[in-house]
Structures are given as structure tokens and as C-alpha cells.
Amino acid sequence: MPNITFASLEEVPDGLKEHAKQTDGKFVINVVPEARLIEFRENNIRISQERDGLASIFGKLKPIVGDDIDGFMTQHGELSRIAQQVKDGKLKASDAIATEVENRVAQMKTGYESQLVQKSTEAATWQTKAADAETKFNRSIIERAVTDAVVSEKSGANPGALSDIITRANRVFQVGADGKLIAKDGEAIIYGADGTSPMTPMEWMGKLRNEAPYLFKNSNGGGASGGNSANGLGGLSQADIAKLSPEAKLRLYHQSKKSK
């Protein structure tokens, strides 16, 4: 999970000091709700296991049942019910037997269908929640890397354009299985200057400067900072700061403290 490190406890913003953990003389804050993400994943795994268990049971029964499940249920229910009722001496007339068979089959079918619908709905719900949590987590990784690039003096980016630059970066960068950023154009990887590694956020900033120079300092364009109020953290206006995610705001705060 991404962490933000502060040199001293005084640098940690109010409201976050209680979550700071001291490591090697510094204070570290985890900016991703790891416990919530774990809960989503564990529940999704549990529901998936229950679903797979039902699928395994049906797989074992298929050689016996065949593809016509309703037909098998009718036949099995009829034979079982008739055998028991005849054994007990309760059924003798053919009409009574047929009625009992139909009622029993209908009850069994309704029960199985309700159970399958419920499990499928639960599994879909937890899969959606897990996917949403993973998407937010991946975006926080992209925001962190792009924020570092924007506030770096090497990029020449206008800090007031951070929210616009992050929006553009989310269309280019993805998070790989190893947690590293991968720049892509559709399904094709965009490689950096060495020709073998994916393009880094800083390299992408150089490309962005050619495509949208108004997002950078010393530009005559008018789109980046607009007419908002006085600058705040990292040179952003209060309106620009309000557009950022909590993780990006915290990152900017840390960067501004380091530059002082």
C-alpha cells in the first residue's frame, strides 16, 4: 500500500497524527484504507467459493442427471414419492399419485431456483464492490506518481493545472499486477526513452508539454489556472485544491513542507 513519510510528527497534518507510525525515526501514514479493501476482497472470495461449491455439486450430478434437469427432477421426484407413498399404503389411485408428484416437483424446483438466484446476486454485489475498491486504489497510485511529477521543478508544470493533468493521466496510465504504472495507448504499451521500459510520468509530462503547453509555466495560454483566488499549497488556488482527492491534497501538503 502507498505510504507518505514525514520527517517529524509536527509535519503530519492535524487529524492524521493519530494514524502516524514511527519507523526509523520518521513518521509514516498509510493513505489507502487497506482494511476496507481487504474486507471487500475476503467477502468476494467467500461468495465465490460458495458459488464454486454449488457448481462442483452440480458438476458431479450432471453425468446422472443429464442436460434435462427438469425432466430428471420430475422422474426422480415421482419415483421417490410414489415408492414411499405406496410403501406407507397412502396412495392407490393413479390420479392421487400424479397430483402428489406434481406438487412435490414444483416445490423442489422453486427452492433450487431461489437459492441459485440469491447466491448469484450476492456474488455479483461483492464483485462490484471489490472492483470499485480496486479502481479507487489504482487511481490513488496514479495520482501519487503524477503529483510527484507535477510538483517537481524538472517538469515545469503549472501547479494550478494539477487536477487537469491527473485527469489526463488516468486516461494513459494503468497499474500493473506488480503495482507499477504502465503507460498505454489502447492495448499497446507506450515505451520510454530507453525503448524497453514503459514511459514514466515524468517522460509523459514532457510529451504533454508539446500537446498542451497551457498546462505549464511561462505559457501564454489561459487554460491552466484561470481566474481563481490566491495560491495555496504547491501554488494551487483554493478552487484547484478543492478538486483534488484527499490523497493528492496530503501529498501536496508534504511536498510544500519539504520545499520550505
pLDDT above 70 (res 71) = yes
User: What does the pLDDT read at residue 226?
Assistant: 44
Q: Helices 162-172 and 246-259, interaxial angle, to 10°? A: 120
User: What does the pLDDT read at residue 174?
Assistant: 92
Query: Which is higher by pLDDT, 67 or 186?
Result: 186
Least confident of 7-21, 176-190, 197-211: 7-21
Please answer whether residues 216 and 158 qualify as being in contact, where contact means their C-beta atoms are separated by less than 8 angstroms.
yes
**Rg of the chain in Å (alpha carbons):** 30
By CB atoms closer than 10 A (0-12, 13-18, 19+), residue 204 is buried
User: What does the pLDDT read at residue 96?
Assistant: 64
User: What does the pLDDT read at residue 183?
Assistant: 92
**How far apart are alpha carbons 97 and 112 in whole angstroms?**
23
Strand partners, 198: 191
pLDDT above 80 (res 194) = yes
Query: Which is higher by pLDDT, 134 or 3?
Result: 134
Averaging pLDDT over each range in 49-53, 67-71, 103-107, 205-209, which range is the top one? Answer: 205-209
Question: pLDDT band at 182, cuts 50/70/90?
Answer: very high
User: What does the pLDDT read at residue 127?
Assistant: 86
**How far apart are alpha carbons 93 and 253 in whole angstroms?**
85
Q: Give Cα separations from 23 to 3, 103, 182 (angstroms).
A: 12, 69, 30
Terminal C-alpha separation, the chain: 27
DSSP string covering 4-38: EEESSGGGSPTTTGGG-EEETTEEEEE-S-HHHHH
Cβ-count burial 37-68 (b if 16+ within 10 Å, e if not): beebeebbeebeeebeeeeeeeeeeeeebeee
Please answer whether residues 149 and 205 qualify as being in contact, where contact means their C-beta atoms are separated by less than 8 angstroms.
yes
pLDDT above 60 (res 227) = no
By CB atoms closer than 10 A (0-12, 13-18, 19+), residue 231 is middle
Least confident of 14-18, 94-98, 201-205, 207-211: 94-98
User: What does the pLDDT read at residue 99?
Assistant: 74
Question: pLDDT band at 228, cuts 50/70/90?
Answer: very low
pLDDT above 70 (res 250) = no
Q: Give Cα separations from 232 to 149, 228, 238, 239 (angstroms).
A: 18, 11, 6, 9
User: What does the pLDDT read at residue 222?
Assistant: 45
Handedness of CA 127, 131, 137, 138 (dihedral sign): positive
- Chain mean pLDDT for the chain: 77
SS3 225: coil
Least confident of 18-32, 73-87, 91-105, 197-211: 91-105
pLDDT above 90 (res 173) = yes
User: What does the pLDDT read at residue 223?
Assistant: 45
Question: pLDDT band at 31, cuts 50/70/90?
Answer: low
The structure's pTM equals 0.42
**How far apart are alpha carbons 131 and 44 in whole angstroms?**
10
